[in-house]
Amino acid sequence: MYHELSRLTLYSNLPQDSALCCLAGVEQRLAEGGLDDREKTALTHAVQAQVKKLLDLATACGFDGNLWQNYLTWLIITHEDSFSLTFERREAMDGSIRQIAVEDFRVFQRLFHWDFSRMEEALGIRSLSLLQHYAAVPKREQMFNRAVSEAVRGLSPKMAAAETPEAIYDLVTEHYRTHGVGLFGLNRAFRVRGDRGSLTFEPIHNLDAVTLDALVGYDLQKKKLRANIEAFLSGRPFNNTLLYGDAGTGKSTSVKALLPEYGPRGLRVIELDKHQFALLQDVIAQVKRRHCKFIIFLDDLSFDEGEAEYKYLKAVIEGGLESRPDNVMICATSNRRHLVKETWKDRDDMEHDGDIHRSDTVEEKLSLSARFGCSINYSAPDRRLFDQIVVALAERHPEIHLSREQLLAAANRFELRHGGLSGRTAQQFINEAAGEIE
What is the average pLDDT across 225-251? 92
Q: Which residues contact 138 (CB under 8 A, 6 or more apart)?
A: none
Residue 83 has pLDDT above 60, yes or no: yes
Distance CA 312, CA 316 (A): 6
Instruction: Enumerate domains of the chain plus CATH numbers.
Output: 2-186 (no CATH), 189-378 (3.40.50.300), 383-433 (no CATH)
Distance CA 433, CA 438 (A): 11
Distance CA 208, CA 229 (A): 19
In this structure, are residues 157 and 163 in contact, taking their beta carbons and an 8 Å threshold?
no
Q: Which residues contact 299 (CB under 8 A, 6 or more apart)?
A: 252, 255, 271, 332, 333
Q: What is the mean pLDDT of the chain?
A: 84
Considering only 143-147, 267-271, 379-383, which range has the smallest mean pLDDT?
A: 143-147
Residue 141 has pLDDT above 50, yes or no: no
Res. 226 pLDDT band, cuts 50 70 90: very high
What pLDDT shows up at residue 257? Answer: 92
What pLDDT shows up at residue 231? Answer: 96
Res. 304 pLDDT band, cuts 50 70 90: low
DSSP 8-state symbol, 215: S
What pLDDT shows up at residue 74? Answer: 93
Widest CA span in the chain: 96
Q: What percent of the chain has pLDDT over 90?
A: 36
Residue 289 has pLDDT above 80, yes or no: yes
Residue 84 has pLDDT above 90, yes or no: no
What is the average pLDDT across 250-261? 91
Q: What percent of the chain has pLDDT over 70?
A: 85
What is the average pLDDT across 294-319? 73
User: pLDDT tens digits for 400-434?
Assistant: 888 889 988 998 889 888 878 888 898 888 888 88
Where is pLDDT greater, at 321 or 386? 386
User: pLDDT tens digits for 324-361?
Assistant: 788 999 998 988 766 555 554 555 555 544 545 445 55
What is the average pLDDT across 14-39? 91
Distance CA 362, CA 388 (A): 40
Considering only 82-96, 147-161, 219-233, 381-395, which range has the smallest mean pLDDT?
A: 82-96
Res. 266 pLDDT band, cuts 50 70 90: confident
Residue 137 has pLDDT above 80, yes or no: no
What is the average pLDDT across 97-113? 94
What is the average pLDDT across 311-336? 76
Res. 21 pLDDT band, cuts 50 70 90: very high
Q: How many CB atoms lie within 10 A of CB 413?
A: 11
In 279-343, where does DSSP find H-type helix? 280-287, 309-317
What pLDDT shows up at residue 417? Answer: 86
Distance CA 134, CA 65 (A): 5
Distance CA 116, CA 80 (A): 28
